[in-house]
Structure 1
Amino acid sequence: MADTALGTGGNLMQALKTRMHWHQSRQKLLAENVANADSPGFRPHDLKAPAIAPGQAGVVMAQTSPSHMGLSGQRGGFNGTNAQRFEITPNGNAVNLEDEMMKVAQNQSDYQLAASLYTKGLGLMKIAIGKGR
């Protein structure tokens, strides 16, 4: 039973580690987008989030009361995640500084969350094996 619990913790730690590496790579790419905001013909790039490995469940919402919103998967209201916000400039540059800076700030916040969870997980593992406090 201890192996199963440790294995699950190991999978979580590996997922957090993968997520932190992704955020580091994405931050570099977003910084390049900002740096090239005035470069003629430059198109911004972004990284696709790492997929959840087979056999690992993601976080899902549970409808605990019939009065709660349904789990249809549809989002109410406007979904602006894929909306094109601005046109390409006359010199062919498609970087929108406001959007890029929002992505940078969100990415940094998400990285800090993953790093905090990773640190807490390590602390819990140390306590579990008797090396902590």
Structure 2
Amino acid sequence: MFDQLEILSMARGLATHSAARQSAVAQNLAQADTAGYKARDLASFGESYRASTGLALRSTRAGHIADSTPPPALRPHVERGIDGDPNGNTVSIESQMVKSAEIRTQHEMALSVYRTTLGILRTTLGSR
């Protein structure tokens, strides 16, 4: 019953998006010295959430839709418009660290939504 609340679905989506984006940033930082490596990032959460709430198939229970590939919005894409090093690498450690801080803020927001929603549910159920 409570797992179908849209606010919890959105918070779960934000947490999943944050984890996938943090993984892309970690990969960028790991490849900061690799010649020819192009920095990658994900689309914003708003874009990916709007894309995922369309008329696409949605799983209603575990194993309902067996597709292990992440949705297109959660697949890293090469960042455009970034000047790179002479060796072709476009990873900027400073910009990746800023992104990492933004991602942490988004993840903390998802956790805050969970906590607040659960607090409201507890209060509601306790007042019976």
Tell me the TM-score normalized by structure 1. 0.64
Number of residues of Structure 1 aligned to a counterpart in Structure 2: 99
* Contact kept? 2:84, 2:90, Cα under 8 Å: yes
* Deviations 1:30-65, CA, capped at 9 Å, x for gaps: 1110111111111111111222335xxxxxxxxxxx
**Aligned pair 1:103/2:99, yes or no?**
yes
More helix by share: 2
Equivalent residue, structure 2, for 1:51: 49
**Residue 36 of structure 2: which of 10, 32, 41 is its match?**
41
**Aligned pair 1:112/2:125, yes or no?**
no
Percent identity for Structure 1 against Structure 2: 26
How far has the Cα of 1:83 moved from its partner?
Answer: 8.5
How far has the Cα of 1:122 moved from its partner?
Answer: 1.0
Bigger Rg over Cα:
1
* Deviations 1:79-124, CA, capped at 9 Å, x for gaps: xxx984x522121101111111110111111111111111111111
Tell me the TM-score normalized by structure 2. 0.67
What SS does structure 2 have at the residue aligned with 1:125?
Answer: helix
CA RMSD of aligned residues (A): 2.6
* Contact kept? 2:13, 2:49, Cα under 8 Å: no
Consecutive unaligned residues in structure 1, runs of 5 or more? 55-81
Equivalent residue, structure 2, for 1:64: none
Regions of 4+ moved over 4 Å: none
The letter of the residue matching 1:39 is T
Equivalent runs, 1:1-133 vs 2, <5 Å = 10-48=5-43, 49=45, 50-52=48-50, 53=53, 84=81, 87-130=83-126
